[in-house]
Amino acid sequence: MSEQNGTVVIGAGPAGLTAAYELLRHGRSVQVFEADEVVGGISRTVERDGWRFDIGGHRFFTKVPRVEAFWHEILPDEDFLTRPRMSRIFYRGALFNYPLSAVNALRNLGLPEAVRCLGSYARARLRPPRDQSHFEGWVSARFGWRLYSIFFKTYTEKVWGMPADRLQADWAAQRIKNLSLATAIRNALLPRRRRTDVTSLIEEFQYPKYGPGMMWERCAEQVRERGGQLSTGSWVTAVHRDPARRRAISVTVNGAGGQRTEAADHVISSMPISELVTALHPPPPPEVLACAADLRYRDFLTVALVVPAEFSFPDNWIYVHDPGVRVGRIQNFGSWSPYLVKDGRTCLGLEYFVFEDDEMWRTPDADLVALATAELERLGLVRPGVVEAGYVVRMPKAYPVYDERYQHNVDVIRAWLTEAVPNVHPVGRNGMHRYNNQDHSMLTAMLTAENIATGSTHDVWSVNVEQDYHEESSGGGGDSQRGTGRDAPVVPSRIIAAPITAPEGSDDRAPVAAPPSHA
């Protein structure tokens, strides 16, 4: 069928803008509608009073050559910085290497605690936990309870908002491949050339000098320059379909100019798939609507605090394993790029993982700045009274949640969309309810655009399902496990609405199982 009305793209994040750009490359007409006033989605760069904030941290590293080529087609080489990757774990006033180093960890813990940890590990080897089906049992069996409670429990529970014994073990097995305390000690003693069985992380990455939003702001400009239409502050409220023809035929858009309807031959959607389902008219069958309503999301807020440069640190971020504070991770924006901060100052981004209906999500900005300031001082990372300014950025639906029903829900929705409206194409992280990173979200958009423009039949749902974590390199060995996308565990839906409290020791996605980032 020849294109007459063009393609409507819902959302101007990495997936949506990549899809638009690629379609224009093929000579197709495109309209992009973004509900927010800025482009980039979670990959935007927020600017306040001349300070720039990266929401979650985006390392530009990929094993996908066409994504790498796309980045450098959008931005010239001189706009990229090569940055060292450095992340550490903050616990009881000390910084521990990440990935974990046995010698460093045991030395920082001190001799008495190190002996206790080794004794705990020995007990776990002699009498492993009976139940290793959950994250807590699986990790405790390989590190002992004491090391598990220090380096895995608190952070993991902060990120996902629930006890670690409710998280399924397959996520830990996927993320902590082949590693145990014995392996870590052996690798510390053996020559580097003999270490072939444990995954390591990249040591450096590319980064746009003004943050990731620089990439997507420039991409949006090029979409317009190439003849595409891009409207911000415009949200798609309905996707109209013709059941007889099994096609979407138009979308209804609300914006500053009121409501209007735009015809479409194809619709590429990066909006949350649950919202896409409810936007369809006539509505899908009740069982499909029920599956959409059952999908959940984890939300995210950053409190950025301006401090003197003397309180900078070389890490891109540090993971906070102190159960006495709510902050899960602290970015140093100056370590990402000196162009994000001002001379003599840096900006520290304290990250909190929440649900949108949490009290913390509703807390006024001034109170959040006060909380973050107090926590930064309590951790000893700054002196009292040195914080000069603070800003709050909220990001709803930052991470799809993988409960025990999510896969069934997504499978039902996907099957129905394929049958009833095959010209509606979900792409990206929220569009597919999959923990894709920026590069894999872009690849789903590239393949979708190719399917539309050339009649190809790429299966975009296979992207990042059985691939290694894309910031890892491995010397060999290891198992390939089917995962949810990048590094998110399957969590029990029945307790998602009742997040645990922080002070009793809750640690969300411990550092060996890398926490959320948006590389």
Within 10 angstroms of residue 48's Cβ, the number of other Cβ atoms is 15
DSSP type of residue 41 = G
Give the total number of structural domains in the chain: 3
Backbone angles phi, psi at 22, to 5 degrees: -70, -35
Reading phi first (left if > 0) and then psi (alpha if -120 to 50, else beta), residue 397 is in: left
Domain boundary among 443, 462, 481: 462
CATH number at residue 410: 3.50.50.60
69, 141, 305, 386 from 218: Cα distances, Å = 15, 49, 28, 36
Q: Residues 462-475: pLDDT tens digits?
A: 987 545 444 554 44
Task: Judge if 239 and 257 occupy the same domain.
Answer: yes
Residue 504 lies in a domain: no
* Residue 258 three-state SS: strand
Residue 474 lies in a domain: no
Side by side, which strands form the sheet with 87-91?
A: 94-98, 87-91, 317-320, 329-332, 345-354, 297-308, 389-400
What is the predicted pLDDT for the residue at 518? 45
Structure tokens at 64: 């996908």
Weakly modelled stretches of the chain, pLDDT under 70: 1-3, 170-180, 183-201, 465-519
What is the predicted pLDDT for the residue at 188? 58
Residue 244 lies in a domain: yes
Residue 124 lies in a domain: yes
Residue 492 lies in a domain: no
Let me know: does 77 contact 84? Beta carbons within 8 Å: no
DSSP type of residue 168 = B
Structure tokens at 315: 């890490």
Q: Are strands 345-354 and 424-426 parallel, antiparallel or unpaired?
A: unpaired
Q: In which residue are the tokens 């009274």 written?
A: 385
Residue 487 lies in a domain: no
Residue 513 lies in a domain: no
Domain boundary among 374, 401, 428: 401
Task: Judge if 285 and 350 occupy the same domain.
Answer: no
The C-alpha atoms of residue 510 and residue 152 are separated, in whole angstroms, by: 4
What DSSP line would sit under 184-222, residue for residue? HHHHHHS-GGG--SS-EE-SEEEEETT-THHHHHHHHHH
CATH number at residue 301: 3.90.660.20
Let me know: does 390 contact 49? Beta carbons within 8 Å: no
Task: Judge if 277 and 348 occupy the same domain.
Answer: no
Task: Judge if 137 and 153 occupy the same domain.
Answer: yes
The C-alpha atoms of residue 30 and residue 14 are separated, in whole angstroms, by: 16
Task: Judge if 141 and 278 occupy the same domain.
Answer: no
Q: What angle do CA 483, 485, 488 make, to 5 degrees?
A: 80
Task: Judge if 303 and 332 occupy the same domain.
Answer: yes
Question: How many helices and strands (H and E) does the chain possess?
Answer: 18, 24
Let me know: does 434 contact 24? Beta carbons within 8 Å: no
Task: Judge if 171 and 311 occupy the same domain.
Answer: no
Beta strands in 270-387 (DSSP E): 280-281, 297-308, 317-320, 329-332, 345-354
Task: Judge if 281 and 320 occupy the same domain.
Answer: no
Q: Are strands 87-91 and 94-98 parallel, antiparallel or unpaired?
A: antiparallel
What is the predicted pLDDT for the residue at 237? 97
Task: Judge if 287 and 406 occupy the same domain.
Answer: yes
Within 10 angstroms of residue 435's Cβ, the number of other Cβ atoms is 20
Single-letter amino acid code for the residue at 68: E
- Give the domain range for residue 365: 296-401
Q: Residues 170-219: pLDDT tens digits?
A: 666 655 655 667 766 666 555 555 444 444 567 899 999 999 999 999 99
Contacts of 42 (CB under 8 A, 6+ apart): 13, 55, 56, 395, 398, 429, 518
The C-alpha atoms of residue 116 and residue 211 are separated, in whole angstroms, by: 44
Single-letter amino acid code for the residue at 123: R
Residue 489 lies in a domain: no
What is the predicted pLDDT for the residue at 201? 62
Domain boundary among 361, 386, 401: 401
Task: Judge if 432 and 458 occupy the same domain.
Answer: yes
What is the predicted pLDDT for the residue at 510? 35
What is the predicted pLDDT for the residue at 406? 86
The C-alpha atoms of residue 17 and residue 428 are separated, in whole angstroms, by: 11
Task: Judge if 146 and 136 occupy the same domain.
Answer: yes
What is the predicted pLDDT for the residue at 434? 86
Task: Judge if 275 and 406 occupy the same domain.
Answer: yes
Let me know: does 400 contact 429? Beta carbons within 8 Å: yes
- CA dihedral (10, 218, 204, 372) positive or negative: negative
